[in-house]
Structure 1
Amino acid sequence: MGIVRRQGLRNTVISYLGLALGFVSTTLVLPRFFAPSQLGLTLTLSAIATLFAQLAAFGFASVGIRFFPYFRNRENGHHGFLPLLLGVPLLGFGVMTALYLWGRPVVLGLYAHDAALLGPYYVWGVVFAFFTLLYSLLDAYLKALYHTAFSSFLQDILLRLLILGGAVLFAQGWLSFHGYVLWYIGANGLLVLVLTGYLRRIGELHWRPRRAVLAVRPVRELLSVGGFTLLSSLAGSIIMYIDNLMVGSQVSLAAAGIYGIAFNISTALAIPARSLNKIAFPLLADYWKQQNLAGMADFYRRTTRLNTLIGCFLALGIGLNLDFIYSLMRTEFAEGTLVVLLLLGSRLFDGITGVNGLILVTSPRYRFDLVFNVSLSVLIVVLNLLLIPRLGMVGAAVAAVVAQVSINLARTWFVWHAFRMQPFTWRIPLVVLLAAVAGTAGWLVPAIGSPFLTMLARSTVLTAVYGGLVLVTGTAPEATALLRRLRR
């Protein structure tokens, strides 16, 4: 267990550094150097490459992690597991490449108003997808070997530093935009080379195929599990990327760039929930193992209260200070203000409904989680088709809100119906009421000289009023207990 603890600690540090670096680069630096259409192009290429790679992989990244213990034997090269892990997806990549190139007129037809901008990079999407596919497979192999920290460092820190470096070179005039796009793609390729070198260094780069690999587990079983995993991961990717792709195709790549930055700003609200989920996942699995449903229900309520408490504060902090955030970018990006507010509402509701998804995915009825994820992805696509032509990129944000609220209500009802657990107590509406009062107080603070001074004043008022009301009313026992400890 020593290696697991060491890798876990390193991953935690890398994850938080990566989140901070990612927020700074994608929200504050890149929008300062690039036009919306340029950012929209890179975001579109990234989304296409991710979906392309996932379809080609056929779920084999997750299959590799799940089944590797059956193949583990370092002395004989793990029975040729690595060639199998790479071989099937590479066959899929060949098929997907043929379909992708054959479908070029259809794809560029969807982006007719920006075909001149996207067209020169269409074939480069194949290269980008190839690097993305190889990295995901090698990363899965390393996870199965319990070597996760190095690949996390490459993905969360080195890649973002390389992208920032390319942006600085572009801003200084040493790279054209075409050169920057190739730099962006090449940075992903560099990660694959470094990861391959790391595998060789630790003695785990076993390239030689072995016929014995076919006898360890039936290939049909691997493909079956891979297909199930593909549906799940593809649904998750559609939820993540489809908004940008559809805004880019139905409005413009510039609108996709503005929407992408608004999306990135709203992700700050999800950081505490993601951190909490890392802790919640193994705890919930343990509750299920012990059949401690009473303890799980109490944990469900407490985490929901904590998510609501922190989420309301962060949502108000971001919403009240959007003028300051957008003052750090090109003026065109401020068109995404309403999109940010809508997406903040969507993420806040997702937090308020608690850890229902984790309860479901760790339960005996885990397959229903796939049903909800597929339903969510289908609902988002349908709503985008209906709303984007009428409302533009705001329509995509409205679709995200409606879809997230609908699915979270359905998932919360399912958890209550199946396991008789629900996360709400009288403290939840009280927290929302206190947040509304504090938000109104912050909103009433007039503009003071500069966006920075206004941000400081509004944040101070918001923090003082919200924190004071929470402590006085005893809404959050955790906050009161923390204050007592600090006084001691």
Structure 2
Amino acid sequence: MGQIRRQTLISSLIIYSGFLLGAFNLIYVLPRLLPVEYIGLTRLIQDFAAMLTAFAGLGFAGPFYRFGPYFEKYSKPGGNDLLQLFLIVTHIGVLVVFCVCYLFRADIIANFQVKSPLFSTYFYATFLFAYFFIIYNLLELYLFSKGQAILQSFTREILIRIIVLALTLLTFYFVSLRQFVWLYAGHYLIPVIILVIAIYKKYPSPIGVGITRTTKRLLPFMSKMASWGIVQTIVSTGVPVLDTLVIGGIIGLKGVAEYQIMSYVSTLVQVPVRATISILGAQISQLWMQSNLSGIQNVYQRTSTNYLAFGLLAVGVILPNLDLLNKITGKNIDIDFSIIAVLITARVFELSTGLSNVIIAYSKKWRYENIISIINIVLAIPLNIFMVNRFGMIGAAYTTLILLVTMFVIRMIILYRSYNFFPFSVPTLYLLGMFAVLFGILLWLCNIQSGWYYRLILSGCFALVFIVAVVKLRISKDINIVVETILSKLLRINIKT
């Protein structure tokens, strides 16, 4: 776990820095330099492209992870052709999906023509975005399968946001809005080049070597898993962006921009997951290969406790300061407290269940994850359309909450009945009780006096007291080790919590 903690700590710092940079871009820079409709357009292009890449991957992301250790074990030195296989499959998928999308372009454009006419104008920009995006994801996944997370975290969380910031600033001086949209659509090319260079230097993978014996042996099993995995990939990628697509079609690009900002704020609570999921995913795959059930249960409970602790901490920092957020975004953007509160509640519940979806996906019960995915997408489409039509943007937030709670409860039941795995423990009760008391005091103090600076100080005090309490009660060994590491490096002395 030492290497995991080290990479997790570094990745978390990178992700936090990226989040702050992204918040600066989205909340401060974009509303001042771009029309609100163009902010919504960039999000709509990104989310529609994400849907295309979900289909184009043909479900091979799961098998790539699942069978990665087997390729490492059985391939001859310099003969691991897993990356080559994934490149071939991906380009076949891209060709098929782009052709289908082109054939049905009139029907797709018609859904956005009235409320989001700009998307219809720049529809083909989604193809460019989707291609570089899926190649980037492919290379990123390959490095993750090697247990490397730092470079990918930097390119995804820092570099891409620096590029977007630079493109946005260029609109103020040199670049027209039309040029900005097309440059934005192709901006993933730069991180793709960087990852290609990194793989070539550190993890060279043979290209053009033909099909190896390992691939011939494992491809039937990978294809079988991928046939189910394509549904899972479509759901895991499509459901999170479905609300944006529905809002774009029903409310318009201004609504997309506002919902994007509120959704972005709610994702702060998921920083630990984004920093650890790929590293822990590789570990869980190894544990399943070794049939180490006790090790998997240990990872399950520890991730549940760690993620929940961070999620509750984030709630106490974010919710009291939404007035400050409204002040920063300016008059053109409307921030709704209720929408952010509902979205954060959904994220925190998801965090509390640990890595249940990953554990099922890499187990012999992986078909259950695909069945859950089918149920999810079947419910998500009509529910989003109905709720957004009936209640507006908050309907999309309620849909997210309903779906996440339902799907993760099902996952918990499957893991408990199949393997006697359970995410919660006594520390979970301590966490919830302590948070309820401290957050109640925080809200009471916030109501005594108004002013964003007053609430900012109070939320900072809440964070300090919460962290100290978690450490002193020794709720999580991992959290204590991280705190010890940070304090030791800052103070240059050995600290024991």
State the TM bucket, normalised to the shorter chain: 0.7 to 0.9
**Alpha-carbon deviation of 1:314?**
1.6
Pairwise mapping of residues 1-80 of structure 1 onto structure 2 (< 5 A)?
12=8, 15-32=11-28, 33-34=30-31, 35-60=35-60, 66=67, 69=72, 74=78, 78=79
Q: Counterparts of 1:425 and 1:199 in 2: how far apart (Å)? A: 41
For each residue in 1:198-243, what CA deviation from the matched residue of structure 2 results, as whole angstroms up to 9, or x when unmatched?
Answer: 5666795866x46556995176555444333322222210132212
Cα 1:159/1:228, change in 2 over 3 Å: same
* Cα distance in 2 between the residues matched to 1:192 and 1:302: 34
2:101 aligned residue: 100
Question: What's the counterpart of residue 318 of structure 1?
Answer: 318
The Cα of 1:352 is off from its aligned counterpart by: 2.4
Equivalent in the alignment of 2:270: 270
Distance 2:81 2:280 in 1: 36
Give the secondary structure class of the aligned counterpart of 1:335.
Answer: coil
Structure 2: runs of 5 or more not aligned: 485-493
State the partner residue of 2:490. none
Determine the C-alpha separation between the residues in 1 that align with 2:409 and 2:358. 15
**Cα gap change, 1:250 to 1:63, in 2 (>3 Å):** same
Residues 199-210 of structure 1: pairs in structure 2 closer than 5 A: 204=204, 209=208
1:253-268 equivalence runs, <5 A: 253-268=253-268
2:119 aligned partner: 118
Aligned Cα RMSD in Å? 3.9
Residue pair 2:54, 2:238 contacting (<8 A) in 1 also: no
The CA deviation at 1:480 is: 9.5
Paired residues of 2:167 and 2:184 also in contact (CA < 8 A): yes
Would the aligned equivalents of 1:81 and 1:213 in 2 still touch at CA under 8 Å?
A: no
After TM superposition, the structure 1 = structure 2 runs for residues 286-435 of structure 1, keeping only pairs within 5 Å, are 300-301=300-301, 303-425=303-425, 428-429=428-429, 431-435=431-435
- Counterpart of 1:89 in 2: which secondary structure? helix
How big is each residue's C-alpha offset from its partner over 1:251-305, in whole Å with a ceiling of 9 and x where there is no partner?
Answer: 2121111111111111111123444656755665676667665676566555534
Matched AA of 2:101: Y
C-alpha distance in structure 1 between counterparts of 2:205 and 2:281, whole Å: 32
Deviation at residue 375 of structure 1 after TM alignment: 2.5
Q: Under a length normalisation based on structure 1, what TM-score does the superposition of the two structures give?
A: 0.82
Q: Hey, what's the Cα distance between the residues in 1 that align with 2:357 and 2:272?
A: 16
User: How has the CA–CA distance of structure 1 residues 211 and 333 changed in structure 2, closer, same or farther, with 3 Å as cutoff?
Assistant: same
- Correspondence 1:154-233 to 2 at 5 A: 154-170=155-171, 172-196=172-196, 204=204, 209=208, 217=216, 223-233=223-233
Instruction: State the alpha-carbon separation in 2 of the partners of residues 376 and 16 from structure 1.
Output: 29
Residue 245 of structure 2 corresponds to which residue in structure 1?
Answer: 245
In 2, Cα distance between equivalents of 1:52 and 1:249? 17
Provide Cα deviations, 1:371-392, integer angstroms capped at 9, x if missing partner.
2233233332232122110111
Query: What are the Cα deviations for residues 46-79 of structure 1, in whole angstroms up to 9, with x where unaligned?
Result: 11222212322323455556365466664xxx59
Residues 160 and 480 of structure 1: CA distance in aligned 2, closer, same or farther (over 3 Å): closer
What TM-score does the superposition give when structure 2 sets the normalisation length? 0.80
Alignment deviations for residues 153-206 of structure 1 (CA, whole Å, 9 cap, x no partner): 433332221112112223x33323222222212321233344445566679586
CA separation in 1, counterparts of 2:242 and 2:480? Answer: 42
The alignment partner of 2:375 has SS state of helix
C-alpha contact 1:14 1:157 (8 A) present in aligned 2 = no
Structure 1 residues 337 and 293, CA gap change in structure 2 (3 angstroms): same
Q: Which residue of 1 aligns with 2:128?
A: 127
**Alpha-carbon distance between aligned partners in 2 of 1:38 and 1:85, rounded to the nearest angstrom:** 34
**Given that residues 430 and 475 in structure 1 are in contact (C-alpha distance below 8 angstroms), is that contact kept between their aligned partners in structure 2?**
no
Residue 186 of structure 2 aligns to a residue in which SS?
Answer: helix
Q: In structure 2, how many angstroms separate the alpha carbons of the residues matched to 1:36 and 1:62?
A: 37
Structure 1 stretches of 5 or more lacking a match?
none
The answer (yes or no) to whether the contact 1:59–1:226 under 8 Å persists in 2 is yes
Contact 1:108–1:115 (CA<8 Å) still a contact in 2?
no
Q: Residue 23 of structure 2 aligns to which amino acid in structure 1?
A: T
Alpha-carbon separation, structure 1, partners of 2:211 and 2:359: 39
Checking the alignment, whether the CA contact within 8 Å between 2:415 and 2:422 is kept in structure 1 is: yes
Are the equivalent residues in 1 in contact too, given 2:342–2:401 (CA < 8 A)?
yes
Q: 1:414-437 deviations in whole A, cap 9, x for unaligned? A: 222222343444554453343233
Distance (Å, rounded) in 2 between the aligned partners of 1:332 and 1:401: 27
